[in-house]
Amino acid sequence: MRVEGPETKIARDLLAHYDVHARRLPWRAPPGTNAADPYRVWLSEVMLQQTTVAAVGPYFARFTERWPDVAALAAADDADLMAAWAGLGYYARARNLLACARAVARDHGGRFPDTEAGLRALPGVGAYTAAAVAAIAFGRRAVVVDANVERVVARLFAIATPLPAARPAIRDAADRITPDARAGDFAQAMMDLGATVCTPRNPACGICPLRSDCAAFATADPAIFPVRPAKRAKPHRTGHGWWIERDGHVWLVRRPDTGLLGGMRGLPSSDWGDAPDATPPVAADWRTLADPVRHVFTHFSLSLTMHHAHVGDDVTPDGAGEWWPVARIGDAGLPTLFARAAQAVRREQDARN
DNA sequence: CAGGCGTGGTG
DNA sequence: TCACCAAGCCT
């Protein structure tokens, strides 16, 4: 008779816990069924990259309602898809999502590759997402390592090497505890555990099904794992934005495909930096909002000073853009910064009337 | 390979 | 208020 090693016990205990406590999420097959749809798994995984379950929920519902399968998504209009993604952030994901759907439709007969390597070759699918889809949608044994798994594993084995140097050791340890069967459930169970029990701060070790096998639980402070490097301070930038209104319409531009907010609609704005040029795009009787719109991006914070004016029917700003109905500004698919800038301008206009 | 790349929840 | 951090990927 085979003696069960500690690695096997971890998977067994975790799966038993998962069978009772698994979160019910829209992209998961209902309990007792085995019907994970690769399209929905892939879509959810891309949306969940660096994004919380709560934020993804409504987007996932809207996307699957509007584009129920990969063929429908592949046929989507680029601007429609970018607008539907607005507010979710990391907009390169939306561009890659469309490129991936089209690659699946064109190069794979409309079916997702069912191997980790095949998935990994698709746009926007990295090591994590390829492993997750292979395991969850196709039942493959794959080592799925996201930030949750990283934290759980670093604690289970009390890995004290700081990130990112600890990644190879964490990956090896995750490989050792990943079972041959139910690798998809195991991955989701690890992520559920990280999200609800083995949290970054104040982990709930008292209710953790793995505490008897957890090296960090045996220490004074389990929460110190994984050890993270200190972060650099965010620089602050300033900029100017312009709300140009003409006969109930506002002038919107499309941002370049690469870089910050790439491919998204936006309000015309200056460069953002230490002392940006504040020359307006058109001559007009400009009014300036007293309070700049403040916004925090991943690697800098921004104060955007908003200017607004009405122009005559014969005026059109230089460069590419479109007059968008002010009453439908909510449908323009503005990323959050510009949505808030628009809101600030309209509030000011309302207050003056 | 270190840094660019959004946003919102949380303690 | 503010720092931290999230089901990462790409270059």
What is the per-residue pLDDT for A31? Answer: 65
Q: Summarize the confidence of residues A342-353 as an average pLDDT.
A: 91
Query: What is the total count of domains within chain A?
Result: 3
Q: Does residue A2 register a pLDDT over 70?
A: no
Q: Among A202, A230, A258, where does a domain finish?
A: A230
With b for 16 or more beta-carbon neighbours within 10 A and e for fewer, the A49-88 pattern comes to eeeebeebeebbeebbeebeebeebbebeeeebbbbbbeb
Query: Do residues A6 and A154 share a domain?
Result: yes
Residue A45 bears catalytic tag: yes
Query: Picking from A160-169, A188-197, A224-233, which range would have the lowest pLDDT averaged per residue?
Result: A224-233
Query: Which of A7, A45, A245, A322 is the catalytic position?
Result: A45
The rounded distance, in Å, linking the Cα atoms of A101 and A308 is 40
For residue range A286-335, what is the model confidence (pLDDT) as tens digits? 999 999 999 999 999 999 999 999 999 999 998 899 999 999 999 999 99
The rounded distance, in Å, linking the Cα atoms of A58 and A44 is 11
What is the per-residue pLDDT for A164? Answer: 92
What is the per-residue pLDDT for A225? Answer: 95
What rounded mean pLDDT belongs to chain A? 95
Domain containing residue A117: 36-140
Distance A1 CA to C9 C1' (A): 45
Report percent pLDDT > 90 for chain A.
90
Query: Do residues A117 and A186 share a domain?
Result: no
What is the per-residue pLDDT for A160? Answer: 93
The rounded distance, in Å, linking the Cα atoms of A29 and A121 is 26
Q: How confident is the model at residue A34 (pLDDT cuts 50, 70, 90)?
A: low
**Residue A171: CB partners within 8 Å, gap ≥ 6?**
A143, A145
Q: Is residue A21 part of a domain?
A: no
Q: Is residue A20 part of a domain?
A: no
For residue range A85-128, what is the model confidence (pLDDT) as tens digits? 999 999 999 999 999 999 999 999 999 999 999 999 999 999 99
Query: Do residues A217 and A271 share a domain?
Result: no
Query: Do residues A103 and A248 share a domain?
Result: no
Distance A308 CA to B8 C1' (A): 28
